[in-house]
Amino acid sequence: MLTGANGAGKTNLLEALSLLSPGRGLRGARLAELVRIGSDAPWGVAATLVRGDATHELGTGSDPANSERRLARIDGAAARATDLGSELAMLWLTPQMDRLFAEGASARRRFFDRLVLGLDPTHGTRSNRYERALRQRARLLQEGRPDPAWLDGLEREMAETGVAIAAARRAYLERLVAALALGNDAFPRPAIAVSGLVEEMLGRASALQAEDEFRQRLAAGRGADIAAGGTAIVGPHKSDVIVVHEAKDMLAERCSTGEQKALLISLILAASQLTGAERGATPVLLLDEVAAHLDPDRRLALYGALEALGGQFWLTGTEPGPFQPLLEKAQFFDVRDASVSRL
C-alpha cells in the first residue's frame, strides 16, 4: 500500500513498475516523456522477480545513444521489450480509465489487448508487426503512385497479422466470458463482446479464408484509404469492445461513473483469475486510487478478491484509512517528497 499526498510520486512508482511489461506503461507515455524534467539523462527500471524457487532479473530503459529507443534485459541478456510479457503479466487501473467506456474505441481496444497480452505474450509482437505495416502502407498511399508490389507485400503482412490479432481476441474473449460467469457478487457482471470486421470474418470463415478476404478488401480500398488520409478504414485497428451491465441490460457508457468503475474492476478481477489459472501465476495488479471511490462494502469485497487471487498487488491512496482491513496482511509505505519509507 502506497500512501501520500497528491503529487508525492505514488503514481510514478506504479508507472515505473508498469514499464516492466510490454508497451508504454500505464500512462501510455512516449519514451522521451519518461525522462526527468530538465534532464536528458537516460532512464531505467530494474526489478528482481521471485516466483517459487526461481529468481529472474528484469530491466528496461532508454538507449543512451537514442532516447526514442527502448532496451530490455532479462537475467542480464539483451531482450525485446515484448519479451518481458513472457516473464511477468501485469494489469492496472488508474483514475484516467474511469471514462474508458465513454471514450473512443481506441482506448477500449488498448485495454482489451492488454488483457489478451496477459494470457498471450506474443499478442504484442503481432500487434507491433501489424501497426508497422499499417503505417508503412499509409505513407506509401500518401506519396501517390506507390509501387503496387510493395503495397501487395504490406497488405499480405496486414492480412496475416490482422487475422491473428482478431483470432487472439476471439479466443481470449471466450475464456474471459467463462471467467466472468464466476464473478464476485459485490460487483456488477459485465457482458462483453468484440465488434469488428475481421473478427466477424473469423466467425463465418477459416483463418486462411479471412486472410484472403481481408487482403482483397485492403487492395480494393486503396482509393478510399487515400481519400481518408492513407490509413486503412478497415482492420482490427478499427474494432471496438462493447460492454453491457448485464443485470440492467444497459451499455456501460450509459451507466453511472461508480457503476462503470465497478464494471472495470469486475473485468480486471476476472482477467487476473483467468491469467493465473492458465499461466500459473497471477498478474501483478497496479490499482491507482481505486479504493477511495468505493463504498466500505465494496472495498472489503475488493480486498477479499485480491487476497483470494494470491498474487501481488499495489494500491495507492492519499490516506491509509481505507486500507485498514489490510493492516495485518499488507506492507504499508509512505511516499513523501520523492522518497519512500516503510510505515
Does position 151 have pLDDT exceeding 80, yes or no?
A: yes
Task: Check the annotation: does 221 bind a ligand.
Answer: no
**Residue 10 counted as an annotated binding residue:** yes
Output the CA torsion sign for 166, 167, 170, 171: negative
The pLDDT tens digits of the residues spanning 113-133 come to 999 999 999 999 999 999 999
pTM of the model: 0.91
- Claim to verify: residue 105 and residue 221 sit in the same structural domain: yes
List of residues 6+ apart from 312 with CB closer than 8 A? 282, 284, 285
Mean pLDDT for 93-98 is 92
User: Is 60 in the same domain as 119?
Assistant: no
In which domain, by residue range, is 41 found? 22-88
Residue 6 marked as a ligand binder: yes
Annotated binding residue at 4?
yes
- Asked if residue 270 belongs to a domain, the reply is no
Mean pLDDT value across residues 225-252 = 95
- Return mean pLDDT, the chain: 92
Q: What's the mean pLDDT in 230-255?
A: 96
pLDDT tens-place string over residues 186-200:
899 999 999 999 999
Q: Which of 322, 339, 340, 336 is nearest to 6 (CA)?
A: 336
Characterize the bridge pairing of strands 2-3 and 333-336: parallel
DSSP label at residue 342: E
- Residue 28 scores a pLDDT above 90: no
Of 258, 283, 306, the residue that ends a domain is 258
42 and 136 in a single domain? The answer is no
Distances (CA, A) of 36 to 42, 153, 235: 9, 41, 37
Region of poorest pLDDT, from 17-26, 42-51, 210-219, 289-298: 289-298
Q: Is 5 annotated as a binding residue?
A: yes
Is the residue at 271 inside a domain?
Answer: no
39 and 83 co-located in one domain: yes
Mean pLDDT confidence for 256-272: 95
For the cut 90, the answer to whether the pLDDT of residue 177 exceeds it is: yes
Do 55 and 107 share a domain, yes or no?
no
pLDDT band of residue 65 (cuts 50, 70, 90) is: confident
Is 38 annotated among the ligand-binding residues? no
The pLDDT-based confidence of 343 (bands split at 50, 70, 90) is confident
Q: How far apart are CA 58 and CA 74, in angstroms?
A: 5
Domain count, the chain: 2
Is residue 142 assigned to a domain?
A: yes
Tell whether 113 and 164 lie within a shared domain.
Answer: yes
